[in-house]
Amino acid sequence: MHADLALRMMANLLWTGLVICLPVLAVILVVGLAISLLQVVTQVQEMSLTFVPKLLATGVVLIAMGPWMLRTLTSYSAQLWASIPTLF
């Protein structure tokens, strides 16, 4: 295995991981920002107020985007397994 092939495989791995995690991270960011603004405006500093909405939003996103995430990860894994004979 050559160094350029290893670097390309690592780049594909990191890119696929980023693409799979991006919807969940984006929703958590937006919900966290909205809750923080709400806390600043109302001056309510309750810890469960920040945790529970993020947890619920994460669950909703995972249910909604889960099949797409699984398809993406499965296609990446299948491509990786199919490329094994050509590595050497």
pLDDT in tens, 40-59: 898 888 877 889 999 999 99
pLDDT in tens, 14-33: 999 999 999 999 999 999 99
Q: How far apart are CA 38 and CA 35, in angstroms?
A: 5
Q: Say which amino acid occupies 14.
A: L
CA end-to-end distance (rounded Å), the chain: 6
Q: How far apart are CA 62 and CA 56, in angstroms?
A: 10
Domain ranges of the chain: 46-76
Q: Which contacts (CB < 8 Å, 24+ apart) does range 41-49 have?
A: none
Report pTM. 0.79
pLDDT average, residue stretch 34-42: 91
Q: How far apart are CA 25 and CA 18, in angstroms?
A: 10
